[in-house]
Structure 1
Amino acid sequence: MGVMLRKIVIGVCIAAAVVLVIGLVPVAWNLVASWREPAPGQPEPIATADLSGTGPGSLISAMTMPEFSHTHYGQRVNSARVVYRSTSGDTGAETEVSGSVFTPKGAPPPGGWPVIAFGHGTTGINEPCAPSLSGTLLGMGEPIAALVSGGYAVAFADFQGLGHEGVHPYPDPRTAGLNIIDSVRALRHTFPDVSNRWAAIGGSQGGGAVWAADEQAAGYAPDLDLVGAVAYVPSADVAGLVDKARDGTMTADQQLVFVAIVESMARLHPDLNRDDFRRGAAAKYWDILNACSGPMVADRDAAADELRAEDLVPASTAAADRLRSLLAKWALPHRPLSAPLAVVYSGRDEFIDEQWTTDALARACALGGKVSWRLDPTKGHGGVDLTDHFGWIADRFANKPVTDECPTQP
């Protein structure tokens, strides 16, 4: 990437950075209802899409996005809503996942458009909660389009169970990481002139997803060339929530995350009893607290206000141990990194305790790979500064040397 193009790309990305924070703040289920608009037309098949494949990342469908294309920013880019094949991080089974993919209009650079795969924060755990079902991508459409205008193709996975049938394993980073990798493949099967070189950026749930994508990329996708990943306030390891639930010390935001985790786990493991983790207002408003669409969304805030710490205390040591064990199996890291990883996290995070991320970074360093990090001690979950890391991404595409802070330990 030339110096001038790099400056243009960074400038465009910085302009988008503040808005992208919307995609990092979890438990914003009400966004689904708020951002839906009447469709200006019916989706049509993408003429350039290759539906002949059968492996991970191969396309099942690729359709136009009339609502998105109708926006002032969507008119500037090529866009498609895709359903593609992916893999469960738990079982290795083939899955089907939806998402959206984008490329710039105009002539590509030599080698094709470089790719950024974006991992979104929590939008909910039900099928209607997917960004690709919203004409504005749940408010993230404009910054995504800004990345495309800056010269990147963008792959935007919904994650398994969001936007397409299936159970959403929340907040399993391994499965979401595979979904992200395969979204890049799906992008390349949808539009021409897309490079196999890619970077990943994501926050919160998406931060854990891009971290996991980095770990799995080399073995899972040797056909792609991951240059680096940026994880903001990542949900790398949230097993500590179980002890906080037991002790009654969860924040109000963590209580909502805990409700979603228990519901997701119960769907994945039918022998896990929801009633071991809910009573009082939690039991009364359980479905409302997990809603992301429909009439129940209007009552979510009021239901959340009634939650008390004692409503979510595990009923027994055995119940707590079971849930903690399931979350620990998902916790990162699992293996050495495939490419450099940059992590930014917060000292006053309302969702993810600082120490959980610090410990995950130390384990990642021990496993191997180039890692850099920054702790913003006074920031909350949605207050992290993304701007400097768009330059970091551009440097990875330019093959510039990268700082490895692992010898210092976090």
Structure 2
Amino acid sequence: MAMFPEKNVKVLKYALCAVSVWVHGASAWSNALPVGPAAGDQSLSPFYIWDGSLPANPGMMLREEPLPAQPEITAASKAQRILYTSRDKRWNAGIVPVSGALWFPKGNPPAGGWPVLAWAHGTLGVADSCAPSWTNPTARDAHYINQWLQQGFAVVATDYQGLGGPGPHPYMNWEAEGRSVLDSVRAALQAYPQQLANNLVISGQSQGSGASLGASLIAPDYAPELKLRATLATGVVATFPDGPVKPGNARPGNRDPSRFTMLRLIGGSLSDGAPPAEKWVTEKGAKLLALAKTACMSELGRYERHEKLDGSAAFIGGSAQVTNALLPVTDMPVKAFPAPLFAATGLADHTLSPHYQYAAVAALCAGGNAVEWKTYPGITHNGTVNVAFADELKFVRGVMENAPQPNSCGSLQPPGKLQQPTKGVAFN
């Protein structure tokens, strides 16, 4: 079984080179930031290496270059790979470079500029070679991005800190990911003040739903100058310990995949005083942990299934022991958000339990928010992204027109028994 596609093999050839490059450039940010192969750092191209001094502020554009064409994205007049500054939350390492992508719609911008859709992607991995600005977005995500471009929105999509840029990717850390999202918008507005409007919608799926909600929650304090109009979250991954509904097991059928926990071990979810990641894994699990530093989710999933590496086989003492040692990076407070909220759940989501997502929506409602929650029979975790688009667009148009906001909070119902996927639906 070939575990590495050709591009990843090419990346691995340069892994040792990456160490020296990142160390050489480390003066640009604090030594508090772990760097090197153990952090998932790889040498992709010179574009991703910032070897000079960094501006003092987050949200500054460092450089950009054209993105390769992608067949699913037909509605863009211009597509750019971007490198910009953000402020590290997890390691308090100060200003760090973060990569991403920026697309512009076709035609001339309207008066005041195009509104901006900030896209927060789902789990791809923690190795630099998993950065979507490097690989191009998945076909599913590209189709979603294209739909917003068709509606006259510019789209900026962060890779997140540590995916493409130096140091670990703080996987699932909503505060860190939220900063990456907001600073990508700041950088785009700073670089293109005539083409883009300070008129923002944030959207995220799965891991990105936490980033989307996180960005919204911190925006009033972290980026108060941004005019956030709406927040969209599908496949909701955020947890609310003080919420009114217990979420239960996130994985339907009590499945216990180990690759997601491996990403958290590498991505900063262990406290600074905890034993290193290698001390939590079995001999077989150590091979998956090593693979997670260089490969992306499709390869990790194949290896996990081939080796039958569930949590009991991958972690010393089983997955519960290591999970209890991880920082609660998905936990969010029950409080009011600064912008209208839209959430969507596929009732055939076998990746993240619909009941788990229902608990998150109930917590958002308990915080005093008006939330429109849409559920889709027969739709999976992957399928929800694009199936929800029409409802998202209607919601966003209503917000932009100051129409009365839909609110599902008075009629929330548990989603019921997990359904089977409907065949013939794109990306389902």
2:229 paired with 1:227: yes
| Cα distance, 1:173 vs structure 2 | 1.7
Q: Give the TM-score of the pair, scaled to structure 2.
A: 0.72
Is the contact between residue 370 and residue 403 of structure 1 (CA under 8 Å) also seen in structure 2?
A: yes
Q: Give the number of the structure with larger relative contact order, counting CA–CA contacts within 8 Å between residues 6 or more apart.
A: 1
**1:321: which partner in 2?**
324
**1:163: which partner in 2?**
164
Q: Percent identity, aligned pairs only? A: 25
| Cα distance, 1:190 vs structure 2 | 2.2
Is the contact between residue 88 and residue 94 of structure 1 (CA under 8 Å) also seen in structure 2?
A: yes
Measure, in 2, the Cα distance between the counterparts of 1:86 and 1:338: 21
**1:340: which partner in 2?**
340
Measure, in 1, the Cα distance between the counterparts of 2:220 and 2:152: 25
Measure, in 1, the Cα distance between the counterparts of 2:144 and 2:321: 45
| Cα distance, 1:198 vs structure 2 | 0.9
2:202 paired with 1:200: yes
Per residue, is there more helix in 1 or in 2? Answer: 1
Measure, in 2, the Cα distance between the counterparts of 1:351 and 1:277: 24
Q: Summarize the Cα distance change of 1:103–1:128 in structure 2 as closer, same or farther, 3 Å threshold.
A: same
| Cα distance, 1:393 vs structure 2 | 1.8
2:394 paired with 1:391: yes
Q: Summarize the Cα distance change of 1:376–1:142 in structure 2 as closer, same or farther, 3 Å threshold.
A: closer
Is the contact between residue 101 and residue 133 of structure 2 (CA under 8 Å) also seen in structure 1?
A: yes
Task: After superposition, give the CA deviation of every residue in 1:164-202 in whole Å (9 maximum; x if it has no partner).
Answer: 112101111221112111111111122232110111111
| Cα distance, 1:255 vs structure 2 | 2.7
Is the contact between residue 116 and residue 155 of structure 1 (CA under 8 Å) also seen in structure 2?
A: yes
Which runs of no fewer than 5 residues in structure 2 stay unpaired?
Answer: 12-44, 48-52, 242-247, 414-428
Which residue, 274, 285, 295 being the options, matches 2:288? 285
Which one is further off, 390-399 or 160-169?
390-399
Is the contact between residue 214 and residue 341 of structure 1 (CA under 8 Å) also seen in structure 2?
A: no
Which runs of no fewer than 5 residues in structure 1 stay unpaired?
Answer: 1-28, 37-41, 45-50
Is the contact between residue 334 and residue 366 of structure 2 (CA under 8 Å) also seen in structure 1?
A: no
SS in structure 1 at match of 2:82 = strand
Q: Summarize the Cα distance change of 1:188–1:320 in structure 2 as closer, same or farther, 3 Å threshold.
A: closer
Task: After superposition, give the CA deviation of every residue in 1:323-352 in whole Å (9 maximum; x if it has no partner).
Answer: 2xx12x431246420101111123443332
Q: Summarize the Cα distance change of 1:319–1:288 in structure 2 as closer, same or farther, 3 Å threshold.
A: closer
RMSD, matched Cα: 3.7
2:89 paired with 1:85: no
SS in structure 1 at match of 2:381 = coil
| Cα distance, 1:222 vs structure 2 | 2.0
Is the contact between residue 62 and residue 80 of structure 1 (CA under 8 Å) also seen in structure 2?
A: no
Which residue, 256, 265, 268 being the options, matches 1:265? 268
Task: After superposition, give the CA deviation of every residue in 1:97-142 in whole Å (9 maximum; x if it has no partner).
Answer: 11111222432112211111111111111122111113x3343445
**1:212: which partner in 2?**
214
**2:349: which partner in 1?**
349
**1:190: which partner in 2?**
191
SS in structure 1 at match of 2:161 = coil
Is the contact between residue 124 and residue 292 of structure 1 (CA under 8 Å) also seen in structure 2?
A: yes
Which one is further off, 284-293 or 124-133?
284-293
Task: After superposition, give the CA deviation of every residue in 1:270-296 in whole Å (9 maximum; x if it has no partner).
Answer: 633435542253233332255326xx9
Aligned length: 357
Q: Give the TM-score of the pair, scaled to structure 1.
A: 0.75
Measure, in 1, the Cα distance between the counterparts of 2:155 and 2:304: 36
Task: After superposition, give the CA deviation of every residue in 1:36-76 in whole Å (9 maximum; x if it has no partner).
Answer: 9xxxxx999xxxxxx997422112x22222523x8694694
Measure, in 2, the Cα distance between the counterparts of 1:375 and 1:75: 28
Counterpart residue identity of residue 223, structure 1 = E
| Cα distance, 1:300 vs structure 2 | 5.7
Measure, in 1, the Cα distance between the counterparts of 2:191 and 2:80: 8
**2:155: which partner in 1?**
154
Task: After superposition, give the CA deviation of every residue in 1:290-315 in whole Å (9 maximum; x if it has no partner).
Answer: 5326xx98686144331134214553
**1:360: which partner in 2?**
360
